[in-house]
Amino acid sequence: MRIEKLIIKDFRSHRLTKVSFTSGINLIVGQNGSGKSSLLDALLVGLYWPSKPKDLKKEDILRVDGQSTEITVFFEKDGISYQLHRNITRGVAFAKYHDGSSWKHATETSQKAVRDWMEKLVPYDVFLNAIYIRQGEIDAILESDESREKVVRQVLGLDKYENAYKNLLEVRKEIEQRIKSIEDYLKSTENLDELIGEMEKELSGALREINELSPQIPKLERELERVEKKLGELDELEKSLNSLRLEIKEREGNRKRLETRVEGLEKRIAEGEERLHELEEKVREFNELREKAELYLRLSNFRKRYTDEKARNEKLAENYRAQIEAIDERLAELSELEKRLGELEKEKKELERKLRRLEKDAKAYEDARSISSQLEGLKKRLKLSREEIGDLAKEIEDARKRKEEIQRELEEINEERGGLKNRVKERNRAIMELKKAKGKCPVCGRKLTEKHRKEIIEKYQAELKEVSLSLKELDERERKLRGELVRIEKVLKRERELIAAKELLDQISGLEERLKEYDLEKLGKRAEEYERVKGELNRLEGELESARTELEKVKALEKKRTLTEGKLRSVEEKLRKLDDELREMGFSGMEELDEKLAGLEPTYRRYLELKGAESELQRERKNLERLRTELEGVKRELDEENRTLKRLTEALAEKERLYSREEHERTREAFTSLREELAGKRARLEALERKRDETMENLGKLREEKERRREKARELDELRKARERVQELREKVRRYKAMLKEGALARVGDIASEIFEELTEEKYSGVTVKAEENRIRLGVLYNGREYGLGFLSGGERIALGLAFRLALSLYLAGEISLLILDEPTPYLDDERRRRLVDIMQRYLRKIPQVIVVSHDEELKDAADRVIRVSLENGVSVVKEVELGV
């Protein structure tokens, strides 16, 4: 797999970024936070979304103020070019391949379909573990033997063999369960032949009994049919008799009810005729009272209208007079207010002149207060006194000088260590030559005797011990110097704090000088006077505005007074017309009208009592007519009921002569006995037939089960053989996994040794890798002895972790064509970073394409292509850098 191009839009800090990659080593360089690692995250998301590492959250993907996140990856695998596009925000995706002439879709256009397609092309776990070395993975290698074993297992793909080993165990367990199930089945069906014999006997007995019982049932059915017919005839005759008796009883009840209705109707007709006479008298009296009642009603309605309208209009007149009086009072007040308006205008002009004289001092006072507030804020921000700032400046200057001295000392130590190591190599080489030499001494040229050889070797070994002690002393000196350097760096980091404190101090001094120019006490009093005059002027302007607003109401009030006077005259005219109407009706006043109404009231009340008599009279006449018609109908119905009753009584007597209860009971008992006998024999026959059918069916099943038992026995033999084969295969997988792991770790250890020796300037002669159960132990060789990770300094531990992880990927170099490194240099010192350049040039070029992300500029020396990422106005900008620049 080889990445050709990456296009991302609105991803984290990238607005629109296009990056091309070539074969060889591609270096993405930039400061921390510039967005360089985001390019690798975008590549991972573009290929495998929604699969992603746990620390990559969807809500962190979309750029601030961005519209939608889009990622397009162009890559090549096995000679075929692919294009994969995703719109994360909208959930759209597609994958295409180039057939030599045009792009064609490789799968459905959905996020899941594209992810599944990519998983088949390059599995996610393979990409994340074998191809992509993320930040923090070196820490996982150094964290513990268990976490290191997990990384190795994932990178080398040992998990698939472990899974195969476990899965084969599950297969074996499944086979054993099936063997147990078949064995249990065969044991439970041992007596199958005995069951078949017993069932054949039962079938023979059932068939014999069926042959005996079958001819008896038709004879019983014919006899039962004859008795049933006779019983039906007797049942029908009894039913007819009971029906006639019931109908006669009902008819007699109807006749009695009809006779009672005739009596009731005749009584109601007599009462109705008497009521009709009374109503005719009331109607006559009602007509005589009609004229006086209508006069009462007319006078009563007039009185109500007169009273209501007079009261309403008198109230309106009183209200209008009160409004006119209030308007007159308000107009008088506004006349006085107009005189006051001129006085207020003069006061306003005087206050405005006074305010202009005070305005300059008030503004100066505000400026002084602002300077004072700034000064207080700056003093709060200043954490150091002048003496502390001076002390810190001296401390930083001393630290800078000491740092230069330490760096010179470290360079001297490195030079001295290099000389000592060369001396060690020379002495080791001389010892080896002395051990092999014969005749002539390779050192002094004299004749070589065993005594002379031994003396020189002992001398050189003693010298090597002294050199070893010197190297340890140098290491101890370097350790102390680097510890001191760490403390010095902490001091130097405070330089920004010093600069900020000096700037604050300069600002404070400037503000204090400016503040001396102001007389705060005098300006404060003038400012208080300014605010007081300003408040008085505001109050006066409010009073003037209010007065002008009130004076604008004069015309409206005068117009309202004219309209109200017109309304008052209209109401008074209505009151005069009401009194004229009263006199026209013949009354001088309300007292005479009330006397007239009191005299007519008894007549009107009697009139109201008789008002419904006429309609009641009409209803009573109709009711009498209806009762007379109903009486005639009931009498006709009674005659018809008597004739029917006579006919039914004669028919009952005729049927009672033909019916015998004793004969009926005998026939019913004979029918019941025959039916029970027939039902018993039918039930027995059905039971025998069911038993026959069930027995035959069970015999068939048992014969099938017998055949199945033979098949299960054959299957049991096959399963036992399969169990042996699975166990053999499981042992082969276990041995192969162990061999693969052992061989891979041996080769990884060799590669890691080479890289680690270079990173540590051959201080250590190798790396040891030992596999144990669920853990992998790392060690180093120093002076011929093996030491654990605790023996190493912090920088050496990081170098070992990097060497081991690179070795894992280089071991797979024949299988993978792409390697991605994200920040491989954290915590490495300058010398080890320089050596990493050599290692990249020598080892990583074995892999066709390498992509490295780093903030370390020195790695440019090892790169074939350099891509720089910077942050401009919060947006990541990507540019290609010419090599050598």
Give the angle 351-357-359 at the CA atoms, nearest 5°: 95
Q: Is the pLDDT of residue 183 over 70?
A: yes
- The mean pLDDT value for 362-389 works out to 83
Beta partners for residue 82, in sequence order? 75, 97
Question: Cβ distance 659 to 238 under 8 Å?
Answer: yes
Question: Residue 560 phi/psi, 5° resolution?
Answer: -65, -35
The strand ranges marked E within 331-469 are: none
List Cβ neighbours of 616 (8 Å cut-off, separation of 6 or more). 279
The answer to the question of whether 32 is labelled as a binding residue is: yes
In a 13 Å sphere around the CA of 67, the CA atoms on its Cβ side amount to 4
Question: Cβ distance 789 to 797 under 8 Å?
Answer: yes
The answer to the question of whether 546 is labelled as a binding residue is: no
The answer to the question of whether 468 is labelled as a binding residue is: no
**What does DSSP say about strands 103-105 and 132-133: parallel, antiparallel, or unpaired?**
unpaired
Burial class (CB in 10 A: 0-12, 13-18, 19+), 518: middle
Q: Is the pLDDT of residue 737 over 60?
A: yes
Report the distance separating Cα 783 and Cα 424, nearest Å.
Answer: 11
**What does DSSP say about strands 2-11 and 70-77: parallel, antiparallel, or unpaired?**
antiparallel
* Integer angstrom CA distances of residue 776 from 150, 160, 810: 9, 18, 19
The answer to the question of whether 12 is labelled as a binding residue is: yes
Specify the pLDDT at position 371.
84
Question: Cβ distance 50 to 90 under 8 Å?
Answer: no
Cis before 826 (ω within 30): no
- The mean pLDDT value for 821-832 works out to 73
Query: In the structure encoding, which two tokens stand for residue 304, read together?
Result: 């109500």
Question: Cβ distance 779 to 767 under 8 Å?
Answer: yes
Across the chain, mean pLDDT equals 82
pLDDT in tens, 748-773: 788 888 877 877 777 787 888 887 77
Beta partners for residue 132, in sequence order? 820
Amino acid identity for residue 550 in this structure: E
Specify the pLDDT at position 283.
81
List Cβ neighbours of 472 (8 Å cut-off, separation of 6 or more). none
Specify the pLDDT at position 146.
74
Q: Look at residue 709 and give its three-state secondary structure.
A: helix
pLDDT in tens, 393-441: 888 888 888 888 888 888 888 888 888 877 877 777 778 777 777 777 7
Confidence of residue 157 (pLDDT cuts 50, 70, 90): low
> Lowest-confidence range among 496-505, 694-703, 824-833?
824-833
DSSP string, 637-667: HHHHHHHHHHHHHHHHHHHHHH--HHHHHHH
The answer to the question of whether 792 is labelled as a binding residue is: yes
Q: Is the pLDDT of residue 28 over 90?
A: yes
- A 10 A CB-CB count for 483 gives 10
In a 13 Å sphere around the CA of 82, the CA atoms on its Cβ side amount to 22
**What does DSSP say about strands 849-854 and 818-822: parallel, antiparallel, or unpaired?**
parallel
Specify the pLDDT at position 16.
92
Q: In what side-by-side order are the strands of the sheet with 2-11?
A: 14-20, 2-11, 70-77, 80-87, 92-98, 103-105
Query: In the structure encoding, which two tokens stand for residue 800, read together?
Result: 């070992």
Specify the pLDDT at position 53.
66
The answer to the question of whether 575 is labelled as a binding residue is: no
The answer to the question of whether 34 is labelled as a binding residue is: yes
DSSP string, 861-883: GG-SEEEEEEEETTEEEEEEE-T
The answer to the question of whether 259 is labelled as a binding residue is: no
pLDDT in tens, 577-624: 888 888 888 888 888 888 888 888 888 888 888 888 888 888 888 888
List Cβ neighbours of 168 (8 Å cut-off, separation of 6 or more). 726, 729, 730, 733
Question: Residue 849 phi/psi, 5° resolution?
Answer: -135, 130
- A 10 A CB-CB count for 673 gives 12
The answer to the question of whether 756 is labelled as a binding residue is: no
Specify the pLDDT at position 86.
92
Report the distance separating Cα 436 and Cα 462, nearest Å.
Answer: 20
The answer to the question of whether 68 is labelled as a binding residue is: no
Question: Residue 448 phi/psi, 5° resolution?
Answer: -95, 115
Specify the pLDDT at position 70.
93
The answer to the question of whether 135 is labelled as a binding residue is: yes
Specify the pLDDT at position 159.
67
- A 10 A CB-CB count for 590 gives 13
Q: Look at residue 8 and give its three-state secondary structure.
A: strand
Cα end-to-end span (Å), the chain: 30
The answer to the question of whether 37 is labelled as a binding residue is: yes
The answer to the question of whether 587 is labelled as a binding residue is: no
Amino acid identity for residue 638 in this structure: L
Beta partners for residue 820, in sequence order? 132, 851
Amino acid identity for residue 466 in this structure: E
pLDDT in tens, 193-202: 778 778 878 8
List Cβ neighbours of 800 (8 Å cut-off, separation of 6 or more). 142, 752, 756, 767, 778, 780, 789, 792
Question: Cβ distance 136 to 822 under 8 Å?
Answer: no
The answer to the question of whether 35 is labelled as a binding residue is: yes
Placement of tokens 């505005």 in the chain: 545
Specify the pLDDT at position 54.
66
The answer to the question of whether 795 is labelled as a binding residue is: yes
Report the distance separating Cα 161 and Cα 744, nearest Å.
Answer: 14
- Map out the domains of the chain with their CATH numbers: 2-135+811-881 (3.40.50.300), 386-513 (1.10.287.510)
List Cβ neighbours of 177 (8 Å cut-off, separation of 6 or more). none
Report the distance separating Cα 40 and Cα 797, nearest Å.
Answer: 26
pTM equals 0.41
pLDDT in tens, 439-461: 777 666 677 777 877 888 888 88
Specify the pLDDT at position 521.
83
Report the distance separating Cα 374 and Cα 512, nearest Å.
Answer: 10
Amino acid identity for residue 452 in this structure: H
Specify the pLDDT at position 885.
46
* Integer angstrom CA distances of residue 412 from 115, 367, 477: 57, 62, 11
Confidence of residue 576 (pLDDT cuts 50, 70, 90): confident
pLDDT in tens, 290-334: 888 888 888 888 888 888 888 888 888 888 888 888 888 888 877
Q: CA dihedral defined by 506, 508, 511, 513, rounded to 10 degrees?
A: -70
Confidence of residue 17 (pLDDT cuts 50, 70, 90): very high
The answer to the question of whether 444 is labelled as a binding residue is: yes
- The mean pLDDT value for 348-362 works out to 83
